[in-house]
C-alpha cells in the first residue's frame, strides 16, 4: 500500500531539506527500497520517517497495511517541487520508477513480519 502526500518546504521558520520523505512503520524493507530508489536518481535528499514519522495509530498505514501485514510506504513530496505542471510531471516519473522497481522485485511484494520497524 502506498499513500502519497505533500509537505510544506518551511515549518515554523525552519527550512525542510528533504525533497521527498518516506514514512513507514513495520515495513523497513519497502521503505529502504523506496529511499534507495529515490537516492539513486541523483541530487535528491530523502528523509527516513521525515518530515513526519510513519507510526501513527489509526492512519492509512496502520489501518490498511499494518493490520493486514501488507507491504507499505508513505511518500511525502515537498510542495514547492510539485507547484508547477513540469514539477508534477517530473515527480510522477520519479515516483513511478521507484514503485515499478519494487513491483518488479517479487520478494518485496510479500507479507510484512509482525513487529515495529
What pTM value is reported for the model?
Answer: 0.86
Domains of the chain: 2-108 (3.40.630.40)
In whole angstroms, give the CA distance from residue 69 to residue 51.
24
Buried b (16+ CB within 10 A) or exposed e, 60-82: bbbeebbeeebbbbbbbbbeebb
Q: What is the pLDDT of residues 38-88, one digit of tens each?
A: 999 999 999 999 998 777 676 777 777 788 888 888 999 999 999 999 999
In whole angstroms, give the CA distance from residue 107 to residue 28.
13
In whole angstroms, give the CA distance from residue 117 to residue 24.
8
Is pLDDT at 91 greater than 50 in this prediction?
yes
Closest by CA to 23, choosing from 42, 5, 48, 4, is: 48
Question: CA 93 from chain center: how many Å?
Answer: 14
In whole angstroms, give the CA distance from residue 70 to residue 89.
28
User: What confidence score (pLDDT) does residue 110 get?
Assistant: 64
Amino acid at each position: 500500500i502506498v499513500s502519497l502526500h505533500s509537505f510544506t518546504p518551511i515549518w515554523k521558520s525552519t527550512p525542510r531539506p528533504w525533497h521527498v520523505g518516506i514514512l513507514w512503520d513495520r515495513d523497513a524493507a519497502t521503505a529502504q527500497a523506496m529511499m534507495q530508489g529515490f537516492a539513486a536518481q541523483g541530487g535528491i535528499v530523502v528523509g527516513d520517517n521525515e518530515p513526519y514519522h510513519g507510526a501513527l495509530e489509526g492512519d492509512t498505514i496502520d489501518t490498511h497495511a499494518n493490520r493486514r501485514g501488507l507491504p507499505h510506504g508513505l511518500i511525502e513530496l515537498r510542495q514547492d517541487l510539485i507547484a508547477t505542471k513540469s514539477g508534477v510531471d517530473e515527480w510522477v516519473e520519479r515516483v513511478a520508477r521507484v514503485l515499478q522497481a519494487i513491483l518488479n522485485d517479487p520478494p518485496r511484494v510479500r507479507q510484512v513480519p509482525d513487529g515495529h520497524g
